[in-house]
Amino acid sequence: MNFNRSIMNVSAIDSSVILIVDDNPANLDVLSDFLDDAGFEVLVAQDGESALDKVRYAPPDLILLDIMMPGIDGFETCRRLKNDAKTADIPVIFTSALADTVDKVKGLSIGAVDYITKPFQQEEVLARVRLHLKLYFLTQQLAEQNTLLEERVRERTAKLNQALEDLQTAQVQLVQSEKMSSLGQLVAGVAHEINNPVNFIFGNLVHAHEYTQNILEIVQLYQDKYPDPDEDIQEVVEDLELDFLVEDLPKLLKSMQVGAERIREIVLSLRKFSRIDEAELKPVDIHDGIDTTLMILHNRIKAKSNRPEIEIVKDYGDIPDVECFSGQLNQVFMNLLTNAIDALEEERDSGQPSHITVRTRCVGSNEVEISIADTGIGMEDMVRSQVFNPFFTTKPVGKGTGMGLAISYSIVTEKHNGHMECRSQPGQGTEFVIRVPLFQSQYAEPQHQEQTV
Ligand SMILES: Nc1ncnc2c1ncn2[C@@H]1O[C@H](COP(=O)(O)OP(=O)(O)O)[C@@H](O)[C@H]1O
Ligand SMILES: [Mg+2]
C-alpha cells in the first residue's frame, strides 16, 4: 500500500505506479506507451509468477492483468494477490480479448475491480484506470480516517470512564468524610454532654463513700453502746437486714465507682477519636490513637457466644510523636482493625488461635512503621491486588462498602505522604504495613496535596 500517496490526496493519481501483466509484447508496448505518456510510472511483467514477484518487491497502485497467459493464468495470479494481506487491497483490472460474460463474472468474483477488453480503446483504459485509482486512494484515506476516528473515540471513552470513576470515588469520599465529620461532631457532642454528669457522679462518689462510712461507724457505735435496743428498733434492723446492708454498701459503692471510671474512659476515647478540635496537623502519640480505637472496638473484640475473646498483642516500639491529622489516622486504624476482626470471624471454624498483632517501630530517623496483622482467612492474590480499589469488597451487601481501604490508602499516601501495603496469603492471615513520615513540613508544596489515587 502506498501510504504516503494515499494520505496526500487524490490529485497524486497521475503519478501512480501501474503494473501491466501481459504475455504479448505488442500489447505491453501499446499499453505502457500511452500510460507512460499520461504521466504514470509503468512496470511490466510477462507472466503471473514474475508479476507476483514484482508486486511483492515493489507494490504498485494498480494492476492491469491479462487472463490468458502461459504458466499460472490471470485468475490464479489474482487469487494469490487477494490471498496475501499485503497485496489484497491493490486494485486489479483484468484485460482480455475474450469478451464473454462468464469470464467477466469470474474475474469480478475473484476480487478484480473491473474488466477491459482488447483491442484497447485508449480513452476508455485511461478513464477506468483513473477511476479505480481514485477509488483506491479514497478507500485508503477513508480507512485511515476511520482508524484515526476509532482511536480517538477509544481515547475519549477511556478518558470519560476514568473521569466517571474519579467522580464516583470523589463523591463517595465526600460522603464518607462528611459522614465521618458529622459522626465525629455527634460523638464529640455526646461525649461532651456525658462528661459533666459523669464527673459529677465520679467526684461525688468519693464523698458518698466517706459519708456512708461515717454513718456506718455511728451505727456500729450505737450497736456497741446499746446492745439491747427496744423492740421497734430491733424489728426494723431485722426487716432491713442491717448486717447484709452494712456489708454490701461499700461493695456497691465500689462497683459504682468502677462503672463511672469506665464511662469516663469511654468518653475520653470518644473525644480523642473524634478529635474535632484537632483538624490541623499536630504531633500526636500514635499509640494513644490505636488504644482509643481498640477501646471503641471493645464490643467487637470481647468474647461472643460462638467464639472466645480476640487476643490483641501490642508490640509497641519506642516511637516519638508523629505530626499528623490524628482523626484521619484513627479512621485508618479503625478500618484496618474492623477488617481484621471481620477476617477473624470468617476464620472462626478453623480452631486456630485468633489474634491481632499491632506493631510499631521507627524506620530510620524520619519515619514510623505501624503494622496491623491478623490470623484470619487471608486473601487470594486476585483479592489482594484489588483491596485498595474503591468499591472493591468481598463482603455481602450491607456489610461491606469496599471503601474502607481505598480511603485509608488515600489518607496515608496523599494526606500524610506515606506508604501502605498489604501482605497476605489465603489461610495465612493478613498484614497491613503503614509508613508515615514524622514531619509533614517537608511536603508543604501544594502539588503533594492535590494528587489523586
Ligand atoms: N484483614 C483482612 N483479611 C482478609 N481480607 C481483607 C482484610 N482486609 C481487607 N480485606 C479484603 O479487602 C476488601 C476491601 O476492604 P475494605 O476496603 O475495607 O472494604 P469492606 O471492608 O467494606 O469490604 C474486603 O472486602 C476483603 O475482601
Ligand atoms: Mg472494611
Give the tens place of pLDDT for each residue, 353-367. 789 999 999 999 999
- Residue 447, pLDDT > 60, answer no
Neighbours of 424 (CB within 10 A): 22
Give the tens place of pLDDT for each residue, 107-145. 889 999 999 988 888 899 999 999 999 999 999 899 999
Q: Which pLDDT value is given to residue 10? A: 53
- Residue 4, pLDDT > 60, answer no
Return the minimum-mean-pLDDT range out of 3-12, 58-67, 104-113. Answer: 3-12
Find out whether the peptide bond into 308 is cis, omega within 30 degrees of 0.
no
Residues in contact with ligand 1 (CB, 6 Å cut-off): 335, 339-340, 343, 374, 376-379, 383, 387, 392-395, 400-406, 430
Distance (Å) from CA 313 to ligand 1 centroid:
21
Q: Are 19 and 41 in contact (CB under 8 A)?
A: no
Distance, CA of 182 to CA of 163 (rounded, Å): 28
The ligand 1 atom at the shortest distance from the C-alpha of residue 374 is: 1
Place of cell 476511520: 146
Q: Are 79 and 112 in contact (CB under 8 A)?
A: no
Q: To test ligand 1's pocket by mutation, which of 169, 175, 345, 405 has the most ligand atoms within 8 angstroms of CB? A: 405
The ligand 1 atom at the shortest distance from the C-alpha of residue 402 is: 19
Q: Which pLDDT value is given to residue 276? A: 46
Query: Each residue of 95-116: b (16+ CB within 10 Å) or e?
Result: bbeeeeeebbebbeebebbbbb
Q: Which residues contact 438 (CB under 8 A, 6 or more apart)?
A: 320, 322, 323, 366, 367, 368
Q: Which pLDDT value is given to residue 13? A: 80
Q: Which pLDDT value is given to residue 327? A: 84
Distance (Å) from CA 298 to ligand 2 centroid:
17
Q: Please name which ligand lies nearest the alpha carbon of 430.
A: 1
- Residue 102, pLDDT > 70, answer no
Which whole number is the average pLDDT over 220-248? 91
Q: Please name which ligand lies nearest the alpha carbon of 343.
A: 1
Tell me the whole-structure pTM to 2 decimals. Answer: 0.55
Return the minimum-mean-pLDDT range out of 13-17, 236-240, 272-276. Answer: 272-276
CA 236 to chain centre: 75
Give the tens place of pLDDT for each residue, 244-285. 999 999 899 999 998 888 888 778 777 766 654 456 788 999
Torsions phi, psi for 111 (to 5 deg): 130, 5
Domains, the chain: 3-120 (3.40.50.2300), 165-274 (no CATH), 278-453 (3.30.565.10)
Task: Look at 189 and 431; give whichever has higher pLDDT.
Answer: 431
Considering 138-152, 274-288, 385-399, 404-418, the range whose residues carry the highest mean pLDDT is: 138-152
- Residue 3, pLDDT > 90, answer no
How would you classify the pairing of strands 367-374 and 430-437? antiparallel
Which whole number is the average pLDDT over 158-166? 89
Q: To test ligand 1's pocket by mutation, which of 387, 391, 412 has the most ligand atoms within 8 angstroms of CB? A: 387
Of 26, 25, 4, 27, the residue nearest 15 (C-alpha)? 4
The ligand 1 atom at the shortest distance from the C-alpha of residue 338 is: 21
- Residue 172, pLDDT > 50, answer yes
pLDDT > 90 in the chain, percent: 58
Distance (Å) from CA 263 to ligand 2 centroid:
27
The mean pLDDT of the chain is 87
- Residue 44, pLDDT > 70, answer yes
Q: Which pLDDT value is given to residue 103? A: 75
Distance (Å) from CA 323 to ligand 2 centroid:
25
The ligand 1 atom at the shortest distance from the C-alpha of residue 432 is: 1
Query: How confident is residue 2, by pLDDT bands cut at 50, 70 and 90?
Result: very low
Q: Which pLDDT value is given to residue 411? A: 87
Distance (Å) from CA 373 to ligand 1 centroid:
13
Of 348, 273, 336, 270, the residue nearest 310 (C-alpha)? 348
The ligand 1 atom at the shortest distance from the C-alpha of residue 394 is: 25
CA 441 to chain centre: 29
Q: Which pLDDT value is given to residue 40? A: 94
Distance, CA of 160 to CA of 263 (rounded, Å): 52
Q: Please name which ligand lies nearest the alpha carbon of 341.
A: 1
Query: How confident is residue 64, by pLDDT bands cut at 50, 70 and 90?
Result: very high
Query: How confident is residue 425, by pLDDT bands cut at 50, 70 and 90?
Result: very high
pLDDT > 70 in the chain, percent: 89
For residue 60, give the DSSP letter: -
Distance, CA of 65 to CA of 74 (rounded, Å): 6
Task: Look at 410 and 334; give whichever has higher pLDDT.
Answer: 334
Distance (Å) from CA 412 to ligand 1 centroid:
17
Q: Please name which ligand lies nearest the alpha carbon of 403.
A: 1
Q: Which pLDDT value is given to residue 346? A: 85
Distance, CA of 335 to CA of 325 (rounded, Å): 16
Q: Which pLDDT value is given to residue 6? A: 43
- Closest Cα to atom 12 of ligand 1: 387
Q: Which pLDDT value is given to residue 99? A: 59
Q: Which residues contact 311 (CB under 8 A, 6 or more apart)?
A: 353, 354, 355, 356
- Residue 451, pLDDT > 60, answer no
Q: Are 426 and 378 in contact (CB under 8 A)?
A: yes
Q: Are 355 and 133 in contact (CB under 8 A)?
A: no
Task: Look at 412 and 12; give whichever has higher pLDDT.
Answer: 412
- Residue 215, pLDDT > 80, answer yes
- Closest Cα to atom 13 of ligand 1: 393
Q: Are 112 and 95 in contact (CB under 8 A)?
A: no
